[in-house]
Amino acid sequence: MQIVKREHDLWRLRIRSSDDLWTLSRLVGKGRLFAMLGERRDQTTGGVEGGRAKAAERKKMWIQLHVESTEYQTFSDILRVHGVISEAKIDKGSHHTHLVNFGDEVEISCPAGFPSPDVKLLKEAVKSGGKPRVAIAAVENDEVALYELSQHGMRDVAAWTMRGGGKYTGSANTDVRTTFLRNIGKDMEMQLSEGTPLILSGPGMARDQLMQMMKDEGATRQITSVATTIGGRSSANEVLREGLADNILCDYALVKEVKLLEDAWRRIATDGAVAYGEAELITALEMGAIETLLITADLLRDEDARIAGKPWQSYLDQLDAIRANWIQCSTEHDAGAQLEAFGSAVALLRFKLDD
């Protein structure tokens, strides 16, 4: 994300990546003003010409919307912003949808000024600097699953299973498995964008064999092999949770979130210094016990969400007063989805609350 212009109530931003689109989808809330170049049909240019119907011309213009809703799926390349035109050369009061993509320059206005969650989210987006996506392949002898990571999510990309010969021993089985892995290496090279780092994880030696095969076939991307205790999606989560590839992932917000959330789940399992649920979170704040609050970005932007009868912004202001940290988490990965199941907010405490 690049900041082109920044004022108290107006931000002009340039979009550089899908992570920026994820951030923008949280910044462009209902009721705000959102503007960018768009196209509208100028009906005054339509009509009949030479006995034939003449279609109205599409004209490019700066269009500002009073936002009603947004649509965005993590890892997609387009954010849709729906609203009513408040400023444009034509069609004021009409409905319009902006399609935001990489390279677009957009303007967001918030007459009352942007709240601290939005300021913090923008700062983190600028700091991330459009880092490339990373791929993790969970490799086993007869199965390989490929996942893609961004700053805010993890998604399934592809899966391969060896059919026949996978459970037998002997030279024939070895040949089948070698061919299986070699073909997967070629498939992954075609599916992944050039320059995307690849982490091979798994409990056995198949990941090292696959890495060598890919290099022998001329792969030039960065490939790292790390051992995990389990395969499949759990292997990818173990890489994030245990920091097994921090040389590649250390600067990714997703990794930081996962590590902190896993710490929270461990504390919950061992009756440690942690709080969740409205009553515990209020008590922990009153006692000054909160060290870090993990809260979903969507909960902070839910107009109907309340804690102690007040908006969450009031709770965050009190956290700042006791010098507690708070982190906005995505729900587009397994640990984030688990946070949502716990009420979308969990606090790591400086000390355990009295029973």
> Which of 204, 17, 11 minimizes the C-alpha distance to 122?
11
pLDDT digits (tens, 9 = 90+) for 156-187: 999 999 865 444 444 446 778 888 999 999 99
Q: Name the more confident of 128 and 218.
A: 218
pLDDT digits (tens, 9 = 90+) for 86-132: 999 988 999 999 999 999 999 999 988 999 999 999 999 998 876 78
The whole-number pLDDT of residue 54 equals 56
Domains of the chain (ranges; CATH) run: 2-41+57-114 (2.30.30.870), 134-249 (3.30.420.60), 253-349 (3.30.1330.30)
Q: Tens digit of pLDDT for each residue in 287-318?
A: 999 999 999 999 999 989 999 999 999 999 99
Whole-number Å distance between alpha carbons of 264 and 250: 20
pLDDT of the residue at 45: 65
Residue 53 pLDDT greater than 80, yes or no = no
Whether residue 51 is predicted with pLDDT greater than 70 in this model: the reply is: no
Over residues 9-29, mean pLDDT: 93
Q: What percent of the chain has pLDDT over 70?
A: 92
Q: Categorize the per-residue pLDDT at 278 as very low, low, confident or very high, splitting at 50, 70 and 90.
A: very high
Q: How far is CA 303 from the centre of its chain?
A: 21
Lowest mean pLDDT among 18-22, 45-49, 340-344: 45-49
Spatial CB neighbours of 215, under 8 Å, sequence gap ≥ 6 = 223
Model confidence at 257, pLDDT cuts 50, 70, 90, reads very high
* Contact in structure between 290 and 350 (CB atoms under 8 Å): yes
Cα 52–Cα 54–Cα 60 angle in degrees, nearest 5 = 165
pLDDT band of residue 139 (cuts 50, 70, 90) is: very high
Neighbours of 164 (CB within 10 A): 9
- Please give the Cα distance from 142 to 166 (Å, whole number): 6
The whole-number average pLDDT for the span 30-37 is 95
Cα–Cα distance, 207 to 45 (Å, whole number)? 62
**Strand pairing category for 134-139 and 198-202:** parallel
Instruction: Read off the pLDDT band of 225 (50, 70, 90).
Output: very high
Could you tell me the pTM of the whole model? 0.84
pLDDT of amino acid 187 = 93
pLDDT score at 47: 56
Return the beta strands (E) in the chain as ranges.
2-6, 10-14, 33-42, 47-49, 52-54, 57-71, 79-87, 95-100, 105-109, 134-139, 143-149, 154-161, 198-202, 223-227, 274-276, 290-296, 325-329, 345-349
